[in-house]
Amino acid sequence: MTDREDSSIVPDHSRAEATIALASDHGGVELKALLVDHLRATGHDVLDLGTQGPESVDYPDIANTLAQALRAGRAGRGVLICGTGIGISIAINRHADMRGALVHDAFGARLARQHNDANVLVLGGRTTGPEIAKDCADIFLSTPFEGGRHARRVAKLGTPSA
């Protein structure tokens, strides 16, 4: 039997595409909780990957957890939050096929999807207000990738550079 024939090995991406994974370090736990509630209230399936409390955790570990969930097909897109969004953005973008976009407003959220095919929205828990965060998440999740001239550029992101 090949991997493709064994449904326990091949992730069910049809269900996963509808699921949104959220994760944060201690600096983003409050904003993450707000977004989990908001996204569930607006009909999204949510996979909450933690953290759940104020105890200090390391943002690279949180980014790794989210990247593994996306790769395994447990979710189609992700949202990551740390204090400023900077550290966790750096961490997620070290993973192949992860395109994390640190955004601060609706315009950035829209272009992250339209032009960059970002699959991870990154926010700062200490720098992004709750209403802006909700707007960014809603727009990020509802905006398709335009493709066209942008597809060539996004494809180059997967090419190792010298």
Q: Catalytic positions, please?
A: 82, 115
For residue 12, say whether it is annotated as part of any ligand binding site.
no
Q: Is residue 57 a contact partner of residue 99, using CB atoms and an 8 Å limit? A: no
Was 86 annotated as part of a binding site? yes
Helix (H, G, I), strand (E, B) or coil at 9: coil
Q: Is 78 annotated as a binding residue?
A: no
Do the annotations mark residue 6 as ligand-binding?
A: no
Q: Could you tell me where the beta strands, DSSP code E, fall in 6-60?
A: 19-24, 45-48
What is the distance between the alpha carbons of residues 20 and 161, in angstroms, rounded to a whole number? 30
Distance CA 31, CA 125 (A): 6
Has 110 been labeled as part of a binding site? Answer: no
Please name the amino acid found at residue 16. Answer: A
State yes or no: 119 annotated in a binding site.
no
Residue 113 assigned to a binding site: no
Ligand-binding annotation for 13, yes or no, is no
The CA distance from 77 to 20, in Å, is 5
R_g of the chain, CA atoms, integer Å:
15
Residues making up the annotated binding site are: 25-26, 83-87, 116, 126, 149, 153
Sequence ranges of the binding site for D-ribulose 5-phosphate = 25-26, 83-87, 116, 126, 149, 153
